[in-house]
Amino acid sequence: MTTTTSTTTSTTTSTTTSATAALVVLGTADRLRRADRELLVLAGTVGETHVVVPDVPGDALLDELAAHAVATVHTPEGGPGDRLTTPAVALAEAAARETGATVLLLPGTPEAKDVAARLGVRLEAGVITDVVALDAGLVATKSVLAGGWTTRCRATSPVLIATVRPNSVEIPADRRTGITTDGTTDGTAAAPDGAPAGARRPRVRTHALEDTVPAARVVGRTELPASGRPALGEARVVVAGGRGTGGDFGPLEQLADALGGAIGASRAAVDAGWVGPEAQVGQTGRTVSPQLYISCGISGAVQQRAGMQTAGTIVAVNKDEQAPVFEIADLGIVGDLKKVLPQAVEHLRALRE
C-alpha cells in the first residue's frame, strides 16, 4: 500500500496547538471569495483559526486573512502541482495534526467534498456535508432528501469535518470586501480591503510533502468564458429558467443583471441545449442556496427542488397556477414569464434612477 508522508519546514519558530482550533481548507491562494469568508467567520466561532491554501499566499490574501484573525497559513512547498485532490488532502492532514484542529471546514464544492471524504479516513473524523449552520456544541444543521427535511447532526468522533453551503453564514460588515475572484461584486457592502490597523498577518508554514498516492494528473485547463456574473454556486441571487422559457433566456439574463445574479436552469433546459450543463440546478446538477431564487418557467419537480429548496426566498413565475413549484414558493406569480420578467426589470431600473 502506498502512503503519504510529510515533513514540515517553517518560516517561523513556533508550532501552534490550541484546544479549540479550527482549520479552514481553502481552494484558492488568490483573493477570498464570499464563500471563503463565510468559512472563516464560522471558524472564528469555534476557536483559533488556521488556514490551508494550495499555493504561496500573496500579501493581499494575508491581509484579508489577518482581518479574520487567522493565526497560521499552511502552504505546500513548490506550489499546487498538477495532481488532483491528493496534495490538498496531504497538506490539510499535516496542518490538522500540527494545529490539533478539532473542526475542519471546507467549501461545498464537489472538489472539496472529495478532499473531505479522504481526510475523514486519514483523521478518523466524522464528515458532515452540506452544512448550513453549526452551533456552539458543534451540532450541524443540514437539509436532506431533496430538501424535504432539515436534520441536526453531530459527529461522535473527536474531529469534525464539515463542508458548508455558500450563503449560509452572515459576514460581519467589517469583514466584507464585496469583490469576488472573478472581479464581480458579490452584493455585499463595500469596505476597505486588507487588514484593519493593528491586525497581525498570520504566520506562514510551508510543508514539504511527499505524496506517493496514485492520483489523476491535470493535463490541460480551459478557462470558461467570463460572463461578468457571479459564480452560480456562490451567487446571492439566482434567476433560473426551464422549458417554459422556450429557449429564450434573454429576459432572465436582463433580470439577473439587474439584480447582480447568476443564471441557473432546469435539466429540461440543459437537455434542450439552451444553456450549458454548468448551469443545471438540481439533484444531478448544482446545489445552490442563494438568498433569492427566481424560478421562471420551471414546473418544480422534486429533482429540481433538491438543488434549490434551501434558498432564502423563492419566487416562482409560471403560467400554470397548479405548477408544483408554487408549493415551495414564498412568492408566486401566475403569468407568462415573457411579460412578467421585463416588467420586473423595468421596475428595478426605475427604482435605481
Ligand X SMILES: Cc1cc2nc3c(=O)[nH]c(=O)nc-3n(C[C@H](O)[C@H](O)[C@H](O)COP(=O)(O)OP(=O)(O)OC[C@H]3O[C@@H](n4cnc5c(N)ncnc54)[C@H](O)[C@@H]3O)c2cc1C
Contact residues: ligand X, CB under 6 A: 242-244, 266-269, 280-285, 297-299, 301, 303-304, 307, 317-320, 323, 336-338
Output 163 or 280, the one with its CB closest to ligand X: 280
Between helix 110-123 and helix 86-99 the angle, nearest 10°, is 50
Three-state SS for 199-227 is CCCCEEEEEEEEECCCCCECCCCCCCCCC
Nearest distance from C-beta of residue 316 to ligand X, angstroms: 9
DSSP category for residue 281 = B
Closer residue to ligand X in complex, CB, 49/299: 299
Compare residues 37 and 267 and give the one whose CB is closer to ligand X.
267
Contact between 314 and 308 (Cβ < 8 Å): yes
Q: Considering the complex, what minimum distance in angstroms separates the CB of residue 163 from ligand X?
A: 19
Provide, rounded to whole angstroms, the least separation between the CB of residue 22 and ligand X: 32
- Whole-number minimum distance, CB 271 to ligand X, in Å? 8
Q: Where are the beta strands (DSSP E) in the chain?
A: 4-10, 21-25, 48-52, 70-76, 103-107, 126-134, 140-144, 149-153, 160-164, 203-211, 237-241, 262-265, 292-296, 313-318, 331-334
State the minimum distance, in angstroms, from the CB of residue 272 to ligand X.
9
**CB closer to ligand X, 65 vs 256:** 256
Q: Which of 100, 99, 171, 160 is nearest to 134 (CA)?
A: 160
- Residue 162 vs 279, nearer CB to ligand X: 279
